[in-house]
C-alpha cells in the first residue's frame, strides 16, 4: 500500500510538473481550478483512507465471526432456532459495521477535503476517487490471499481425511482441520467483506465524479450531489428493519424454515428499499437537472433517476435467485449433477461445468437490461446509481453471507469438542442453508462489480477526454482482445496457487498420519501448527503475482499505449471477466451442494445415491474438491480484477491523458 501510495503521488503530481499554480479546469477552460499537485496529495490521502477502512472492516468482521461461532455451537444445544438467531445476528453486526464504516469515512473525507477545495467540486470529487482504489486494492489481497489460504487447507483436509482415511469432516484427528476452519474466516468473512466494501466505495466514487461535472456540481447543490450517499444511508435503515423479521417477528422452529427465512430477508429488504429510494429521490433531487454525458449535458427528471436505482436493486435480486436456483440442492440442476455421480467423477465434472455455463444466461440479461434502462435515462450516472441500488441492501447481503462461515465453523467446533451427534446435525442444517446463501452473496458481488466497473469506465472515458471508443481502430481492438484474456491469466494463476498449496498440505497431512503413532486411534494429537503455517505462507507468497498482474496492467498499458488502448483493455476484461466469474462460482457451488445432497440423504432419490463412502459419494467429493478453488478463489476474485483495473485507470486518468501512449509517440 505504501509503495502504491507513493506511485499515486508521483504520477498525479507530475501531470503539471509538480507546479503549485492554479490550472484551467478540465471541463470549463474559462475557470481556474486547484493545482494538479493538490489532486495528487488528496488522492493519496483518500487512497490510504480507503485501504485502512477496508482493513479495519475485514479485521473486525473476523473478530465478530470468531466470537460468534462458539456461541452458535452452544446455542445449538437449545435448538435450531436459537442457533440460527445467534449466527444471523453476528452476520448482521458485520454487515452494518461495514456499510456504516464505508459511508462514515467517505462523508467525513468529503467534508474535510471541501475545506481546501471550496467551490472546485470537480477537483474535490476527482481526489475522492482514490478512496475506491484503496478499498479495492486491499480487497484484492483479502480475496485472493484468503481464497488461497482457505482452499489449500480445505482440499488438503478433504483429500486425505475424507477420501483416503474415511474419517468425518472436521474430525480433530485430521491435522489440517484447524487451518480449514481459520480459512473460512479469512476467505469468506474478510475477503467477502472487503470485496463488497470495495464495490460500494467505487460505485459511490464513480457517481460522485460524474455528478460533480453535472448541474449538481456546477450549481453547488449539496443535497443532490450527495444523493449516492443518501441512498446508502437509507439502505442501512431498511436493512435494520429487515433483520428484525428474521430474529424478532418470526421465530424459526424447524430446519426447513431456515432457507426461506434467509430468502425472505432479500425480498423484504428489496421491497422496502424501493419505497425508500422513491421517497429520497422525491425529497433530495430537483424535479429536473442535467447529467454530464460524454461532452454534452443531458436533461434528466428525478423519477428517471429513481428508476435507474430501482432497476439495479431488482436486477440484484434476480441474479441472487437465479444463482440460488443453480446452486441449491432443492432444485433440479444440482440434483441432476448429483445423479450424474452414479457413473463416476468424470460425468459429475461434465454436468457441473455445463450447469455453470448455463447459469450465466439470465444474470447477463438482467445486467444488460439494467445497463440499457439506466444508461438511456441518465447516461453513466444512471449506471453508477444502478450499481449503488444493487449494493444498497449490502448490510442484509453481508449478514446472509457471513452467516454461512459462522455456522460452518460452529459445526467444526461441535465435532472437535466431541459434542453430541444431535448438535452436529443442527449446525449442518444451518450450514447447508448458508452454502446456498453464500452463492447468492457471490452472485450479488459479481453483478454489482459489472455495473460498478462500467460506471467507472464511463467516468474514466470522460476524465481522459475520449469522445468515442471505436472498436474498429487497431489501438482499441488490441486492447479489447488482451483485456478479454486477462481474466483467464488471472484465474490460471489463482487456481495453480491453490493446487500447489494443496499439494504441500496433502503431503504434510499424509506424513502425520503415517508417522505419528496413535493418531488414527485418537490417542495422540496431530501437529495443527505446521498445517496452519503451510496455508499462511502459501497465501502470502502466492497472492503477489495475481495482485501484481491486476495492479500493473493499467499502468503499463496507459503509459506505453495510451488511454484509447486502455479503454479497450477495460472493456475486454469486463466482458469476459463477468462470464467466467459467474460460471466458476456457480459450478463450484453446485458440486458442493450435490455432495451435501448425497450425504444428507433427505429424499428417496438421494438415499439411492448414498450413503457416505459409496462410490457415488466419492465421485461427488472429487467434484466438490475441484469446485473449491473455482467457487472460493478464482470466481469471486475476478470481480475485483474487473473493478480494480477500472478504478485505477480513473485515478491515473490525468497522467495517462497528459503523458501516456509513449509507443505511439515515437
Q: What would the pLDDT profile of 202-251 be if each residue is shown by its tens digit?
A: 889 888 988 888 888 888 888 989 999 999 999 999 999 999 888 778 87
Residue 337 and residue 589 in contact, taking contact as beta carbons nearer than 8 Å? no
Is 483 in contact with 572 (CB distance < 8 Å)? yes
Q: Of the candidates 89, 129, 93, 92, which has an alpha carbon nearest to the alpha carbon of residue 110?
A: 129
Residue 19, pLDDT above cutoff 80? no
pTM attached to this predicted model = 0.90
**Which range among 11-20, 415-424, 509-518 shows the weakest confidence by mean pLDDT?**
11-20
Q: What is the mean pLDDT of residues 610-636?
A: 87
Tell whether the model's pLDDT for residue 184 goes beyond 90. no
How far is C-alpha 532 from the geometric centre of its chain's CA atoms? Answer: 25
Task: Look at the alpha carbons of 548, 549, 554, 556 in this order and tell me if their dihedral is positive or negative.
Answer: positive
Band of pLDDT at residue 9, cut at 50, 70 and 90: very high
Is the distance from CB of 43 to CB of 7 less than 8 angstroms? no
> Chain-wide mean pLDDT for the chain?
88
- Give the pLDDT score at 121: 86
At 470 the pLDDT is 87
Rounded to an integer, the average pLDDT of 297-320 is 91
Prior bond to 611 cis, omega within 30? yes
Mean pLDDT for the stretch of residues 580-593: 92
> Do residues 469 and 571 lie in contact, with contact meaning Cβ atoms separated by under 8 Å?
yes
Q: What is the mean pLDDT of residues 473-480?
A: 93
Maximum average pLDDT range among 78-82, 213-217, 296-300, 576-580 = 576-580
- The mean pLDDT value for 437-442 works out to 78
pLDDT tens, residue by residue, 159-173: 888 778 888 878 888
Whole-number pLDDT of residue 586: 93
> Based on the number of CB atoms within 10 Å of its own CB, is 148 exposed (0-12), middle (13-18) or buried (19 or more)?
buried
Q: What is the pLDDT of residue 353?
A: 96
| Cα distance between residue 246 and residue 234, in whole Å | 19
Distance of CA 173 to the CA centre of its chain: 34
How far is the C-alpha of 75 from the C-alpha of 77, rounded, in Å? 5
Angle between helices 192-212 and 227-244 in degrees, nearest 10: 150
Smallest Cα–Cα separation from 189: which of 156, 146, 151, 155? 146
Average pLDDT over residues 388-392: 90
- Mean pLDDT lowest among 16-20, 66-70, 336-340, 368-372: 16-20
pLDDT of residue 314: 93
More confident residue, 436 or 469: 469
Residue among 651, 647, 653 nearest 199 (CA): 647
Give the whole-angstrom CA distance, residue 405 versus residue 411. Answer: 10
Q: 45: helix, coil or strand?
A: helix
Structural domains in the chain (count): 1
Spatial distance between the Cα atoms of 527 and 537, rounded to a whole number of angstroms: 16
467: pLDDT strictly greater than 80: no
The stretch 522-538 carries a mean pLDDT of 90
For residue 411, the enclosing domain spans: 1-664
Look at 432 and 111; give whichever has higher pLDDT.
111
pLDDT category of residue 26 using cuts at 50, 70 and 90: low
Amino acid at each position: 500500500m505504501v509503495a502504491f501510495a507513493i506511485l499515486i503521488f508521483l504520477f498525479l503530481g507530475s501531470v503539471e510538473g509538480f507546479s503549485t499554480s492554479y490550472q484551467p479546469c478540465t471541463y470549463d477552460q474559462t475557470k481556474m481550478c486547484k493545482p494538479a499537485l493538490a489532486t495528487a496529495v488528496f488522492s493519496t490521502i483518500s487512497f490510504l483512507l480507503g485501504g485502512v477502512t477496508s482493513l479495519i472492516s475485514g479485521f473486525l468482521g473476523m473478530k465478530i465471526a470468531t466470537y460468534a461461532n462458539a456461541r452458535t455451537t452452544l446455542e445449538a444445544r437449545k435448538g435450531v432456532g436459537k442457533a440460527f438467531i445467534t449466527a444471523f445476528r453476528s452476520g448482521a453486526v458485520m454487515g452494518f459495521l461495514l456499510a456504516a464504516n464505508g459511508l462514515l469515512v467517505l462523508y467525513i473525507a468529503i467534508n474535510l477535503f471541501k475545506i481546501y477545495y471550496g467551490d472546485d467540486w470537480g477537483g474535490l470529487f476527482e481526489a475522492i476517487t482514490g478512496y475506491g482504489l484503496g478499498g479495492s486494492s486491499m480487497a484484492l489481497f483479502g480475496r485472493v490471499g484468503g481464497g488461497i489460504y482457505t482452499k489449500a487447507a480445505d482440499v488438503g483436509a478433504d483429500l486425505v481425511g475424507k477420501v483416503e482415511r474415511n474419517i468425518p469432516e472436521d474430525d480433530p484427528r485430521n491435522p489440517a482441520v484447524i487451518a480449514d476452519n481459520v480459512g473460512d474466516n479469512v476467505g469468506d468473512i474478510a475477503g467477502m467483506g472487503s470485496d463488497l466494501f470495495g464495490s460500494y466505495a467505487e460505485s459511490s466514487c464513480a457517481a460522485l465524479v460524474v455528478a460533480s461535472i453535472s448541474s449538481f456540481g456546477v450549481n453547488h447543490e449539496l443535497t443532490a450531489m450527495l444523493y449516492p450517499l443518501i441512498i446508502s444511508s437509507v439502505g442501512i435503515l431498511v436493512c435494520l428493519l429487515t433483520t428484525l423479521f428474521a430474529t424478532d417477528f418470526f421465530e424459526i422452529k424447524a430446519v426447513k424454515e431456515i432457507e426461506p427465512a434467509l430468502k425472505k430477508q432479500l425480498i423484504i429488504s428489496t421491497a422496502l428499499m424501493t419505497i425508500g429510494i422513491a421517497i429520497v429521490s422525491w425529497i433530495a433531487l430537483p424535479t429536473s437537472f442535467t447529467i454530464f454525458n460524454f461532452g454534452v449535458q443531458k436533461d434528466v427528471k428525478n423519477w428517471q433517476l429513481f428508476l435507474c436505482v430501482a432497476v439495479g436493486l431488482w436486477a440484484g435480486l434476480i441474479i441472487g435467485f437465479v444463482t440460488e436456483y443453480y446452486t441449491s440442492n432443492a432444485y433440479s440442476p444440482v440434483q441432476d449433477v448429483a445423479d450424474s455421480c452414479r457413473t463416476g467423477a468424470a460425468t459429475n465434472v461434465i454436468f457441473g461445468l455445463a450447469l455453470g455455463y448455463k447459469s450465466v444466461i439470465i444474470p447477463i440479461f438482467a445486467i444488460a437490461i439494467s445497463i440499457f434502462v439506466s444508461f438511456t435515462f441518465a447516461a453513466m450516472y444512471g449506471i453508477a446509481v444502478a450499481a449503488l441500488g444493487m449494493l444498497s441492501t449490502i448490510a442484509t447481503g453481508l449478514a446472509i453471507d457471513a452467516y454461512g462461515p459462522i455456522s460452518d465453523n460452529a459445526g467444526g467446533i461441535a465435532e472437535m469438542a466431541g459434542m453430541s451427534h444431535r448438535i452436529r446435525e443442527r449446525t449442518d442444517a444451518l450450514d447447508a442453508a448458508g452454502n446456498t446463501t453464500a452463492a447468492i452473496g457471490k452472485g450479488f458481488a459479481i453483478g454489482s462489480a459489472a455495473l460498478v466497473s462500467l460506471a467507472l469506465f464511463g467516468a474514466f472515458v470522460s476524465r481522459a477526454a475520449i469522445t468515442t471508443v471505436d472498436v474498429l481502430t487497431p489501438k482499441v481492438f488490441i486492447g479489447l482482445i488482451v483485456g478479454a484474456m486477462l481474466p483467464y491469466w488471472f484465474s490460471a494463476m489463482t487456481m495453480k496457487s491453490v493446487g500447489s498449496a494443496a499439494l504441500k498440505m496433502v503431503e504434510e497431512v499424509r506424513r502425520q498420519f503415517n508417522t505419528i503413532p496413535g493418531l488414527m486411534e485418537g490417542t495422540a494429537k496431530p501437529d495443527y501448527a505446521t498445517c496452519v503455517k503451510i496455508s499462511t505462507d502459501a497465501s502470502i507468497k502466492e497472492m503477489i503475482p495475481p495482485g501484481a498482474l491486476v495492479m500493473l496492467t493499467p499502468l503499463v498499458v496507459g503509459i506505453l499505449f495510451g488511454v484509447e488502448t486502455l479503454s479497450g483493455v477495460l472493456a475486454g476484461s469486463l466482458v469476459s471477466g463477468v462470464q467466467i466469474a459467474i460460471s466458476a462460482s456457480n459450478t463450484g457451488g453446485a458440486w458442493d451442494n450435490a455432495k451435501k445432497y448425497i450425504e444428507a440423504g433427505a429424499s428417496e432419490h438421494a438415499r439411492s445415491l448414498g450413503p457416505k463412502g459409496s462410490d457415488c459419494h466419492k465421485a461427488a467429493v472429487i467434484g466438490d474438491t475441484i469446485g473449491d478453488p473455482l467457487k472460493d478463489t478464482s470466481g469471486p476474485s475476478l470481480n475485483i480484477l474487473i473493478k480494480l483495473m477500472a478504478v485505477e485507470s480513473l485515478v491515473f486518468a490525468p497522467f495517462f491523458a497528459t503523458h501516456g501512449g509513449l509507443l505511439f509517440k515515437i
